[in-house]
Structure 1
Amino acid sequence: MKIYQKFKALIFWIEFIISIIFLCIFFILIHSQEKIWKIRKLWAKLQKYVINYKIRIQGFIHPETNLFLINHQSLLDIVVLEDLCPKNISWIAKKELGEIPIFKTLIKKPKIICIDRSPKGLVKLLKEAKERLKEKRILAIFPEGTRSKTQKLLKFKIGAKILAEKLNLKVQPVVIVDSAKILDTQNFNAKSGVLKVVFLDLVDTSKENWLEQTRKKMQEILDKERLQN
Structure 2
Amino acid sequence: MNLYNLGKQLCTVILKPLYRIEVIGEENVPKTGGVLLCSNHIDNLDPPVVGISSPRPIHFMAKEELFRLPILKSLLPSIQAFPVRRGMSDKQALRTGLQLLKDGKVLGLFPEGTRSKTGELGKGLAGAGFFALRTEANVVPCAIIGPYKPFKSLKVVFGKPVDLSELKERKGSAEEATDLIMDTIGELMEKYK
With over 3 angstroms needed to count, the CA separation of the structure-2 counterparts of 1:155 and 1:70, relative to structure 1, is same
Q: Give the one of 152, 159, 165 matched to 1:193.
A: 152
Take 1:65 and 1:57, find their aligned partners in 2: how far apart are those partners? 21
Matched, 1:211 2:170: no
Answering whether residue 22 of structure 2 is matched by residue 56 of structure 1, we say yes
Which structure would you say has the larger Rg?
1
Distance 2:99 2:34 in 1: 16
User: Which residue of structure 1 lines up, in the alignment, with residue 76 of structure 2?
Assistant: 107
In structure 2, C-alpha distance between the alignment counterparts of 1:202 and 1:103, rounded to whole Å:
32
Secondary structure class of the residue paired with 1:175? strand
Higher helix content, 1 or 2: 1
Structure 2 counterpart of 1:3: none
Q: Tell me, yes or no, if structure 1 residue 91 matches structure 2 residue 91.
A: no
Percent of residue pairs identical: 28
The aligned counterpart of 1:126 is 94
Letter of the structure 2 residue corresponding to residue 143 of structure 1: P
State the 1:75 CA deviation. 2.4
Aligned mates of 1:38, 1:47 — CA distance in 2? 14
Which runs of structure 1 show a deviation greater than 6 angstroms over 4 or more consecutive aligned residues? Answer: none
Aligned residue pairs: how many? 181
Shift of 1:69: 0.1
Moved more, 37-46 or 130-139: 130-139
5+ residue gaps, structure 1: 1-33, 183-189
Deviations 1:131-163 (A, max 9, x none): 434664311000000000124211100111112
Summarize the alignment of residues 138-177 of structure 1 with structure 2, pairs less than 5 Å apart. 138-177=106-145
Code of the aligned partner of 1:112? A
In 2, distance between residues paired with 1:35 and 1:74? 26
Q: Tell me the distance in 2 between the aligned counterparts of 1:136 and 1:47.
A: 30
1:223 equivalent in structure 2? 190
> Shift in Å at residue 70 of structure 1?
0.6
The 1:151/1:97 distance shift into structure 2, 3 A limit, reads same
The equivalences for 1:7-18 within 5 A come to none
Which 5+ residue runs of structure 2 have no aligned equivalent? none
Instruction: Provide the rounded CA distance (Å) in 1 between the counterparts of 2:119 and 2:80.
Output: 32
Using structure 2 for the length normalisation, give the TM-score: 0.82
In the TM superposition, what is the alpha-carbon distance from 1:37 to its structure 2 partner? Answer: 2.1
8 Å Cα contact 1:203/1:210 also seen in 2 = no
SS in 2 for 1:74: coil
Report the RMSD for the aligned CA atoms in angstroms: 2.2
